[in-house]
């Protein structure tokens, strides 16, 4: 009887360890989220932007948007969204695979968020978990010019961040400003 009880306890404890291990495998991806991403999320697979009916694949640094009847993946937004301000447009975090397959659901769910410009973004947060976005790198991610976030446009949103410094900086639109001491990257002189 003791042997059966021992085997049962051993079996239950091994299942508990397996369940605990599965729960731990959920990873944080704070460092891979772009500076224009919303604050408050330790993990984000996708952002949905209701203003332009577009998704952003956080781990792969790609936009997913509708072109005709097909969903396109790209490192940059298409020209029709050239004036969209990534830092001020609303982004909903979606942690479901391929959310564009349920596009109608997300369009309806977030329709009321169109035109909202009051969402706090990582670049402007001083929360310690976002320190790699602001600690000495002026909001450019890891400071090496590639940003580590929002690839394809050097972490300048869609090249339309005008900021509040009055310089009407449009980031890298047209291949101009490449950073350095120019442009608005969270630092206001």
Instruction: Encode pLDDT of 137-157 as tens digits.
Output: 444 433 333 333 443 444 444
What are the residues whose beta carbons fall under 8 Å from the beta carbon of 139, sequence distance 6 or more?
Answer: 35, 123, 133, 155, 185, 186, 187
Between 171 and 107, name the one with better pLDDT.
107
Cα dihedral: 181, 171, 38, 70 (round 10): -150
- Work out the mean pLDDT of the chain and round it to a whole number: 70
Between 179 and 69, name the one with better pLDDT.
69
> What pLDDT shows up at residue 166?
38
**82-140: per-residue pLDDT in tens?**
899 999 999 999 999 999 999 999 999 999 999 999 999 988 888 877 766 554 444 44
> What pLDDT shows up at residue 36?
94
What are the residues whose beta carbons fall under 8 Å from the beta carbon of 78, sequence distance 6 or more?
Answer: 65, 67, 72
Strand partners, 129: none
For residues 71-89, average pLDDT: 95
Strands 92-94 and 62-67: unpaired
- Banded pLDDT at 9 (limits 50, 70, 90): low
> What pLDDT shows up at residue 28?
64
What count of other Cβ atoms lies within 10 Å of the Cβ of residue 120?
A: 11
For residues 55 and 49, the answer to whether their CB atoms sit within 8 Å is yes
pTM for the model stands at 0.57
Closest CA to 56 of 34, 39, 41: 34
Between 126 and 3, name the one with better pLDDT.
126
- Banded pLDDT at 29 (limits 50, 70, 90): low
The whole-angstrom separation of Cα 5 and Cα 156 is 62
Burial class (CB in 10 A: 0-12, 13-18, 19+), 55: buried
Phi, psi of 176 (to 5 degrees): -75, -110
The whole-angstrom separation of Cα 66 and Cα 189 is 39
Please name the helix (run of DSSP H) or strand (run of DSSP E) that holds residue 78, with its range, or none: none
> What pLDDT shows up at residue 121?
92
């Amino acid at each position: 009887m003791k042997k059966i009880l021992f085997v049962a306890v051993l079996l239950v404890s091994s299942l508990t360890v397996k369940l605990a291990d599965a729960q731990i495998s959920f990873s944080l991806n704070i460092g891979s989220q772009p500076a224009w991403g919303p604050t408050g999320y330790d993990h984000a697979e996708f952002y949905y932007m209701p203003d332009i009916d577009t998704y952003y694949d956080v781990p792969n640094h790609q936009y997913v948007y509708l072109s005709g009847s097909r969903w396109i993946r790209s490192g940059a937004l298409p020209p029709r969204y050239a004036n969209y301000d990534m830092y001020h447009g609303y982004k909903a975090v979606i942690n479901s695979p391929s959310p564009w397959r349920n596009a109608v659901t997300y369009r309806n769910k977030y329709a009321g968020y169109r035109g909202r410009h009051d969402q706090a973004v990582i670049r402007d947060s001083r929360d310690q978990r976002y320190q790699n976005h602001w600690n000495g790198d002026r909001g450019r991610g890891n400071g090496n010019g590639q940003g580590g976030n929002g690839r394809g446009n050097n972490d300048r949103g869609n090249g339309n961040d005008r900021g509040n410094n009055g310089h009407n900086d449009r980031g890298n639109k047209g291949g101009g400003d490449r950073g350095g001491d120019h442009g608005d990257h969270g630092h206001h002189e």
